[in-house]
Structure 1
């Protein structure tokens, strides 16, 4: 190939970009992603924004449409200060799990970075959003933007009618328990249409105007001992209220006796936003690993085809190396396992196992070792797993050795660590299980549920915290959060901490006034 023909095959040569160039690069990336990797993606909508707009998107938790709240402004000022002082960079992109999938590119990016980001977000993240089972079952990509437009307009109207302070008070309390406002073990309701939302609002207004028979019925005399009557009433209460309930926002939205219809709708809005982001918290390693592997593979394929220059590839690889950098445990920069580094390394390792397995790989992964179909194996893994199960299924001894993983046991009663697992057959199993456990949200977030409320008696809301491994809540933040729940419930709220293994009551506290 002569120099002229080689130059004409290049997608770009310099750092500057224009929209024709972006379109040409997008088409080349799409060809590799669809025809070679076999990715299945939502239609893409690519938008170019400024650094200030990127900061604004940061502040509003990455949504193009979002209601107003003071915490978003606080976050914006903080991020902007760090960015202007050069103490923190900005992401090259932002991608929205929607249909169409929206990717934001920063206008300050070079052309090489725009290509990298397009491959990473518009095809890597996009494929994962569309095909992973958690996103398919627990989010509705086709409705989220319309719903957020409704939410933004609804809260703005509430501010006009009821005042900013009143709306902010409800949002503050709802945000305080946002992490406890998701369905973890049962499928959440789908986003409703505008007609359905109108029906819900009319129902709530009717409930506010009417007395429920449950609240005004006078208890009749019942047969049996006092204890038997109390136990029977408890069973009936739990059955009628469907207790225990893990989703605190959902319970308060449906059962609070003091909330007005507009306040219930705001709780529902916050609950929908929390549920939308819940799968992303369970798939950080897989989602970022998938996107990083996709951009790395596509960019190298374009270079092999002579469509990008060595200089562009070096710039891309320099950015890629920064993303997947994993500091050692004794490095001042170490905070935890880098999800990009672990995810990308596991994707590459799966490719190696499928194409060039060792005897060890064949023992550990008999179903995929040497099958030659690394593309199909990865697509299946991306579709069928979350972080915890992915690590349990695919983390290999070879990668544990490469990343020098081992396990330390830390006992509260001892002033030293014990090495709990090393690189032997049993050690690999323990290291893999321990690492997978760190990605189990159910084990790493407080399990707090509504267990009882006597609506015909004192109306005290009883919560129970099931304590895992002796991990108690910090008293200051615990009590502050309970005050927010008290504000939404309207009556006394109590929280009991119960040990998960023994069932022993470890603490009990209550908040009578917000």
Structure 2
């Protein structure tokens, strides 16, 4: 039996104070840890104003962030729409760190403070700590100290080299953030001491750049035996570990013109991009987990008599807004709401584990009727990303609820075909198609560094592996290539190669675009 306050309720009005927040936190923590079996980082709750929340929006949600003009631009944009009433602000912001920092808006009512505490401080927190992507690819214990270092380092660079010079490098690095992550091999762990030591050395000896060494090397004669040239190309690819998927990493390590402080700026942007990579791959699961956790906790507290009916109506209204899924022909339709899909799937897992139908037993024999829905959910939260979670757990019942079906839209046809409907074969096809749409690696352009002759023309040769005939937008492609050239210092070429046939689809270069 949960310990109650004198009145039995955790709070009675809409106003809050720190004593009430503490009392609500203790009750939420008891349900989360003892009844739901969640495992979380230590929590740190901070109260911030709406302006501070807007500032956090503009700097990619980090409490410590270096300055850049794009953050100010976004702040002005978000503030304008917020002041005009065109959009609201998030009730909270949570940082994947150890301790886990949750920012609560001071304008929230007490009921909302309780909801977002359950949502962020326990739902998101549990997911951050236990999901395999975050465990393998991020270091929650080091990110805050690293961001503190990054902010101070950028400030020192601005003082030493000028704001314009620093922003020019950051502009180009930001343009490559999506191509600045390791997808198939684990990046090295952050080490604050090593980071500071390397930064100190680079600032002290920045004049000793190794690009000067390459300038003294003689040019290799253009007329070489083809077999010898092929052997040389194979050898240099081996030395440079090509092909390389992480463009920022390659430029940081091998650019012939960057000074040490510029390389460190590239590394800072690359570390931030890597930090956010798991979040892009787990949007449905992460938000679904947090929503399911807050919904379960507030209902449990209501059942215990610790939340009043009036406050419960407020909480349910807010929850309904979060999981609202507009129809495809609704002007508000933004695509599939990740909160709605994630929450629906997790509620469905709870139902299948406790009250399965014959259809459920056929589709999910491993956990249908096992009775332990929380263990099933904890296992799913720990071992999947959006693609695999949908592929393994999306049920026909949820597909019917969301009225999902698959269209075949070939460019060669003058019509759109309904390829999969609600039958056994159709359910499998719809589930696979939806899962593939959440595969970040499959849906982002696959661009890799293929070759560069450091002793020859030094042209950086990139390859875009074209999937399903989807080409890059020419405007953004050419602009991005100019950013790569700025960081590389020499011409850059890009060849689009069909991923299936190996046929070259297009070729372009910074030399041609500048003519």
Normalised by the length of structure 1, the TM-score is: 0.96
Aligned partner of residue 443 in structure 1, secondary structure: helix
Which residue of 1 is the match for residue 140 of structure 2?
141
Q: What's the counterpart of residue 482 of structure 2?
A: 483
In 1, distance between residues paired with 2:164 and 2:211? Answer: 29
Q: How many Å separate the matches in 2 of 1:44 and 1:494?
A: 48
Please say if residues 201 and 261 of structure 1, whose CA atoms lie closer than 8 Å, have aligned partners that are also in contact: no
Q: Confirm or deny that 1:130 pairs with 2:129.
A: yes
Deviations 1:287-307 (A, max 9, x none): 000000000000000000000
8 Å CA contact retained: 1:132, 1:385: yes
Q: Distance in 1 between matches of 2:311 and 2:213?
A: 71
**2:219·2:456 contact (CA, 8 Å) conserved in 1?**
no
Q: Which residue of 2 aligns with 1:446?
A: 445
Q: Take 1:436 and 1:444, find their aligned partners in 2: how far apart are those partners?
A: 11
Contact 2:115 2:315 in 1 (8 A): yes
SS at match of 2:190: coil
Deviations 1:26-46 (Å, cap 9, x if unpaired)?
A: 000000000000000000000
Give the gaps of 5 or more residues in structure 2.
Answer: none
- 8 Å Cα contact 1:243/1:450 also seen in 2: yes
2:295 corresponds in structure 1 to 296
Partner SS, residue 481 of structure 1: helix
Report the equivalent of 2:499.
500
Deviations 1:371-429 (A, max 9, x none): 00000000000000000000000000111111111111111122321001000110000
Given the alignment of the two structures, is residue 48 of structure 1 paired with residue 61 of structure 2, yes or no? no
Note the C-alpha offset of 1:458. 0.2
Q: State how far apart, in whole Å, the 2-side matches of 1:207 and 1:416 are.
A: 63
- Distance in 2 separating the partners of 1:471 and 1:391: 24
Contact 1:215/1:456 (CA < 8 Å) preserved in 2? no
1:409 aligns with 2:408: yes
Q: Which residue in 2 is equivalent to 1:229?
A: 228
Q: Residue in 1 aligned with 2:100?
A: 101
The structure-2 alpha-carbon separation of the partners of 1:84 and 1:209, relative to structure 1 and needing over 3 Å to count, comes to closer
Shift of residue 198 of structure 1? 1.7
Give runs of ≥4 in structure 1 deviating > 2 Å: 192-197, 199-221
Question: 1:47-105 deviations in whole A, cap 9, x for unaligned?
Answer: 01000000000001100000000000000000000000000000000000000000000
Work out the CA distance in 2 between the residues paired with 1:160 and 1:313.
53
Cα RMSD (Å):
2.0
Superposed counterparts of 1:88-237, under 5 Å: 88-199=87-198, 202=201, 205=205, 208-210=208-210, 226-237=225-236
SS in 1 for 2:484: helix
**Residue in 2 that maps onto 1:386:** 385
Does structure 1 retain, via aligned residues, the 8 Å contact 2:207–2:259? no
Hey, what's the Cα distance between the residues in 1 that align with 2:259 and 2:418? 56
* Unmatched runs of 5 consecutive residues or more in structure 1: none
Residue 11 of structure 1 contacts residue 307 of structure 1 at CA under 8 Å; is this kept in 2?
Answer: yes
Q: Where in structure 2 are the equivalents of 1:273-284 lying within 5 Å?
A: 273-284=272-283
- Residues 81/226 of structure 1: CA separation in 2 closer, same or farther (3 Å cut): same
8 A Cα contact 1:93 1:106, kept in partner: yes
2:459 alignment counterpart = 460
Q: Is the 8 A contact 2:149 2:196 kept in 1?
A: no
- Write out aligned runs for 1:8-19 (5 A): 8-19=7-18
Task: For 1:227-306, list aligned pairs within 5 A.
Answer: 227-306=226-305
CA shift for structure 1 position 239: 0.4
- Residues 465-484 of structure 1: per-residue CA shift (max 9 Å, x gap): 00111110111110000000
Cα distance change on mapping 1:123 and 1:14 into 2, 3 Å: same
Report what 1:347 is aligned to: 346
Tell me, in whole angstroms, the C-alpha distance in 2 between the residues paired with 1:201 and 1:175: 24
Measure the CA separation in 2 of the matches of 1:491 and 1:259.
Answer: 12
Hey, what does 2:332 align to over in structure 1? 333
Tell me, what secondary structure is at the counterpart of 1:9?
coil
Deviation at 1:12, TM superposition (A): 0.5
- CA shift, 1:216, in A, is 5.7
- Matched residue, 1:68: 67
Q: What's 1:377 paired with? A: 376
Distance 2:343 2:507 in 1: 45
**If the length of structure 2 is used for normalisation, what is the TM-score?**
0.96
Q: CA deviation at 1:189?
A: 1.4
1:228 CA displacement: 1.0
Alpha-carbon displacement from aligned partner over 1:229-286 (angstroms, at most 9, x marks no partner)? 1110111010010000000000000000000010000000000000000000000000
CA 1:233–1:124: 2 relative to 1, 3 Å: same
Secondary structure, aligned partner of 1:486: helix
Determine the C-alpha separation between the residues in 1 that align with 2:44 and 2:9: 24
